[in-house]
Amino acid sequence: MLKLVKMGIAGLFAVGLGISVNVLAADAHDHASDHAMSERLHDAVEYRQGAFIIMGWNFGRMAAMVKGETPYNAEEFTQRANTIQLVSHLPIEGFKDMPESASGKTKMDTAAKTEIWTKFDDFTSKMKALEDASVKLAEVSKQGDLAAIKPVFAETGKTCKSCHDDYKHKD
């Protein structure tokens, strides 16, 4: 009888241990999933911010030429316009299916408003407008005529502003 009691206790202990191991494994899996999601969000924010930094850097140098703050250099302006054209289609990838990466929803420092995902079709159309405007800017810049570039540059800047007005928290 004592042997049966010992076996019963050992069996209960084994079942309890098995349940504990399963709970711990599930918790570890949830933690790993949370960590993987956190990493994915972090990567998405860094990815899109990197693209915006590249465009902003180049746009700023071009703006200085357009405003006459620095001498106009046709070759440099065209190179910068081409860079913006190449990079303009990249940021959208860092927003797709990532509503958790909005400002206040991740530990990352981001200015992205949640409206990006609640109005994703509009956001996407504004990003497409930037892509289209950057193609036009790259094309006109090849002519080397600053007078022809200025209105196209201004129009490209307006596409940036329209998105910022609706979908970016102010600094």
The CATH code of the domain that includes 100 is 1.20.120.10
Average pLDDT, integer, range 32-49: 80
Residue 21 lies in a domain: no
Contacts of 99 (CB under 8 A, 6+ apart): 105, 114, 116, 117
- Per-residue pLDDT band at 33 (split at 50, 70, 90): low
Average pLDDT, integer, range 84-98: 92
Task: Give percent of the chain with pLDDT exceeding 70.
Answer: 72
One-letter amino acid of 31: H
Is the pLDDT at 26 greater than 90? The verdict is: no
Average pLDDT, integer, range 99-125: 81
Residue 54 lies in a domain: yes
Residue 100 lies in a domain: yes
What pLDDT is recorded for position 38? 73
Residue 18 lies in a domain: no
Q: Give me the domain span that covers residue 61.
A: 40-167
- Least confident stretch, 11-20, 44-53, 97-106: 11-20
Q: What is the pTM for the complete model shown?
A: 0.76
Average pLDDT along the chain: 83
What pLDDT is recorded for position 41? 82
Is the pLDDT at 20 greater than 50? The verdict is: no
What pLDDT is recorded for position 161? 93
Residue 2 lies in a domain: no
Residue 141 lies in a domain: yes
**Cα-trace Rg, the chain:** 27
Average pLDDT, integer, range 47-54: 95
Pick 150 or 170 by higher pLDDT: 150
The closest of 169, 161, 170, 167 to 59, measured between CA atoms, is: 161
Residue 163 lies in a domain: yes
Residue 12 lies in a domain: no
Instruction: Quote the tokens at residue 29.
Output: 């899996």
Is the pLDDT at 15 greater than 50? The verdict is: no
In the chain, the number of structural domains is: 1
